[in-house]
Homo-oligomer: A and B are copies of this chain.
Amino acid sequence: MTGRDGGAELTPIEPSPVVILVRPQMAENIGAVARAMGNGGLFFLRLVAPRDGWPQERAWRLASGAHRILDAAQVFETVADAVADLHRVFATCPRPRHIIKPVLTARGGAAEIVAIGTRGLRCGILFGPERAGLDNDDIACADSLIRYDLNPDFMSLNLAQAVMIMGYEWWLARMPELPARDLQTNETSIATKGELDHFMAHLIRECDAAGFLKNEQKRPGMVRNLRHFFTRGEVTKQELQTLHGVVSELVRGPRR
């Protein structure tokens, strides 16, 4: 299935865990999984006994360009075959019963997968079929379980969504640190304090002229409030130019 055109230039990031879809039913979902894997930087896809066989053109149509992931997907007959060359296997399952295995959150699981990867070991993550989920024999092939922290009153999680959350957490877990907040300055020209002062002077001059600041006692506080307002965040040169125009036009307006 290689050689399809128009796909994104996706390549494996090593070491990245293998996504293993166990008995997936709908080829569309396999395509949506590949797209979600691309979003999260995952690349290795294995299919265990896909219901409708493999390959299926419908998967590529739903992959939104993540063709390389589908091109490289491997098919296995059993879960045991699919995990045979892996060192650690995680099973995503919402409601484990009568089973004693470590249970991790998606976030905790992603951290562990990254940590295991740094030791040169390969991980796999099992995802069950759309309706039934993993069965007990599937889960027996896993070392640990991953259970998503989500609304317990509505656990119907789409297969691609389940893969998306693991990919998202894996992508973040690889980051040395996560900047919770920054300020966007790309391709934007920030005004200097001098330019801002120039505008403030313009504004206050015109306010004075209009008699708006005539109360000498209140004037310092009012000027300070204006300055506070206009320096609340960074201002671009373009915005300052617009503000200058607003002041000038208001002054020139019909009220005069």
- Point out residues on A near B: beta carbons under 8 Å: 8-10, 32, 35-36, 38-41, 64-66, 96-105, 107-108, 111, 145, 148-151, 153-158, 160-161, 164-165, 167-168, 171-172, 175, 178-188, 190, 233-236, 238-239
Residues of chain B within 8 A of A185, CB atoms compared: 100
If A100-B183, A102-B183, A190-B100 touch, whether A171 touches B150 (CB-CB below 8 Å) is yes
Bound Cα distance A10, B145 (Å): 27
Closest to A65 in B: B156
| A180 near B41: Cβ-Cβ < 8 Å | no
Bound Cα distance A234, B239 (Å): 64
With beta carbons under 8 angstroms apart, the residue of B10, B38, B158, B182 that contacts A36 is B158
Q: From residue A225, how far is it (CB to closest CB) to chain B in Å? A: 20
12 A-B residue pairs with CB within 8 Å: A35-B158, A40-B150, A66-B154, A98-B187, A98-B238, A100-B239, A102-B184, A103-B181, A145-B184, A158-B160, A160-B161, A168-B168
| B149 near A64: Cβ-Cβ < 8 Å | no
Bound Cα distance A64, B99 (Å): 28
With beta carbons under 8 angstroms apart, the residue of B8, B64, B103, B154 that contacts A158 is B64
